[in-house]
Structure 1
Amino acid sequence: MHIHPDPLRHARLAGALYLTIIICGVGSELALRGPLIDAASAEHTMQALHAQSLRFRLSILADVVMALADAALALLLFRMFRSVSADLALAALVFRLLQSGLIAAGLLNLQAALIVGSADLSLHYLALHAYGYDLGLIFFAVNCFLTAQLITRSGFVPRILGLGIGLSGLVYLAGSGLRIVAPELHGLMAPAYVVPLVAETAFCLWLLVKPGGARRRAAA
């Protein structure tokens, strides 16, 4: 008799990785790095980076941890959803890994911003990192659309979470698109990023606390 593997057996590990991604991603940008950057003043930014270089380096380290956790999460979500649709799960895996790779590669721009001797160049490298991050989020938006379909079809994850992840993809796609074609309007998207924060946190918490009940329902 063929026994199908339990799709939720690694759900709590996936939830722990997702929580790591959220904490490191939000913490590195908002708590550690963001307050040091003054887009209107290259000199003030460079002074802040050198005065608090350890804080800035910790923000880079947090992003490295985030990228590693994201790659591991991509593999676990593939294993979770491959029984729903192997093709969709594989596509979601590929697009999430592309996002992780692009964001990780973009961290070189942060390192360059710290070591160059020119304030203007430092600000340019910080801007390149922001553009690279949003480029990665375009691939993540596609991953969100695919993951939303997998959640909706699965029967063991609440469909409302699929809706939230799908809306998150729209926010990421719109925000990244604006960064590329109309960067002066990108700031208008800031309030919309509450949607992916809430949706991804909800999915993360479900992975951490709910898979036991979902496993019983799936078995039934």
Structure 2
Amino acid sequence: MAQVEIVTPGTRLGTTQDFLPGAGTYVRPDDLNAIGGRGSTIVAALAGFRIVQQPTTTAHAAASASTAAASHAMEIDDDNDAAGAASARQVLPSIHVVRDLHDANPIPAIGNVVTATVTSITSRFAKVNILCVGSSPLREPFHGMIRIQDVRETEKDKVEMYKSFRPGDIVRAEVISLGDSRSYFLATSKNDLGVVFAESAAGASMLPVSWCEMQCPKTKAKEFRKVAKTF
């Protein structure tokens, strides 16, 4: 259950040691807490409701697996270092501020599968607008980013962004990090994630022919994509 309270701009919400900063917040620069090793202060950017969202079960499971692997690799006499590494790998709850509690957008959380439209491409990442969280449509989109290292699971050094996505594509992706105050970090590395809709130059909805290609039904021309497996 999310914890809710009313806040105003500038209200101290917590620190990055305890929370991940989400929508409607920012991290105070050059903060004394950070110098003291207690994490930077997270501050409300607007007046509204403070919401603390707990990590999903998927995120907890991923963190636990990562922590177990790290602990197994540690030497016995490095107990303190191992404990620090385990703590760093824990998935923290995220903290957000929304203006209207009842009409608020569903808030993406780590482990959520989202639907997004690609808005622009560079050689290193694709920018997207998140349209749905799970099956819940958003009143206003969140910004997201798919980095080149998060496109697929294997042969990451061979990934080319322009052969994976194009502006206008609709993609299914998983939230892997809250990123910064501007964008969520998304991944399409799993088989069922990637492009689910793309339009060809002829204006037709392309059909998937493999995990890395789609074909125009009119012209039969093929284009590269990181295709989501939908069956």
* TM-score, reference length from structure 2: 0.28
Bigger Rg, which one: 2
Structure showing greater relative contact order (alpha-carbon pairs closer than 8 Å, 6 or more residues apart): 1
* TM-score, reference length from structure 1: 0.29
Higher share in helix: 1
Higher share in strand: 2
